[in-house]
C-alpha cells in the first residue's frame, strides 16, 4: 500500500513538471533605504549657493527626494534636483526650480550606481536658509 501511495505521488509530481503552462518567475522587490542630508545637522544654503549630496543605489528602482525642512522662511522658492553622480559632479536629470518645504521629486534608477540630490538658490533667496532632504532609494 505504501508503494502505491509513493508511486502515485511521484507520478503526480512528474505530471506537474511536464506541464505546458508557463511558470512566472519570482521577482524579489528591492529593499529601500532612506538617507537624510546632511546627516547630523541641518545644512545651510547661502544666497546664490548650491549644495550637492551623493548616494549610491544597489539596484534599479524608484527614487524619491523630499525637502523635509527649510527655513526660517519655508515659502522661499529654491531649486531641488536629482541626477547622476560621476564621482566629481552631479548631472541633474529631474529638477524643480520652484521647490519649497514638502516638495517631492520622484524618479527611477534603471540600474545600480551613483546618484545625487542638489539644492540651489534660483535667485529668490535674501538670506541663508537651513534645510534637510530625505532620499528614499533601493
Structure confidence by residue, pLDDT tens digits, 90-125: 999 999 999 999 999 999 999 999 999 999 999 999
Parse the chain into domains and list their residue ranges.
30-137
pTM: 0.78
Q: What is the architecture of the domain spanning 30-137?
A: Sandwich (2.60)
Lowest mean pLDDT among 11-15, 16-20, 52-56: 11-15
- Cβ(78)–Cβ(119) below 8 Å: yes
Residue 25, pLDDT score: 80
How far, in Å, CA of 69 to CA of 84, rounded? Answer: 23
Residue 120, pLDDT score: 98
Lowest mean pLDDT among 22-31, 80-89, 98-107: 22-31
Would you place residue 28 in the very low, low, confident or very high pLDDT band (cuts 50, 70, 90)? confident
DSSP 18-73: T--S--PPP-PPPPPEEEEESSSS-EEEPTT-EEEEEEEESSSEEEEEEEEEEES-
Residue 20, pLDDT score: 67
Amino acid at each position: 500500500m505504501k508503494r502505491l501511495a509513493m508511486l502515485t505521488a511521484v507520478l503526480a509530481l512528474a505530471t506537474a513538471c511536464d506541464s505546458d503552462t508557463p511558470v512566472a518567475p519570482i521577482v524579489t522587490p528591492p529593499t529601500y533605504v532612506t538617507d537624510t542630508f546632511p546627516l547630523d545637522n541641518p545644512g545651510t544654503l547661502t544666497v546664490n549657493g548650491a549644495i550637492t549630496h551623493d548616494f549610491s543605489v544597489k539596484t534599479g528602482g524608484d527614487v524619491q527626494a523630499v525637502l523635509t525642512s527649510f527655513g526660517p522662511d519655508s515659502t522661499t522658492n529654491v531649486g531641488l534636483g536629482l541626477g547622476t553622480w560621476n564621482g566629481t559632479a552631479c548631472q541633474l536629470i529631474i529638477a524643480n526650480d520652484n521647490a519649497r518645504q514638502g516638495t517631492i521629486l520622484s524618479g527611477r534608477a534603471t540600474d545600480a550606481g551613483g546618484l545625487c540630490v542638489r539644492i540651489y538658490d534660483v535667485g529668490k533667496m535674501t538670506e541663508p536658509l537651513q534645510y534637510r532632504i530625505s532620499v528614499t532609494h533601493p
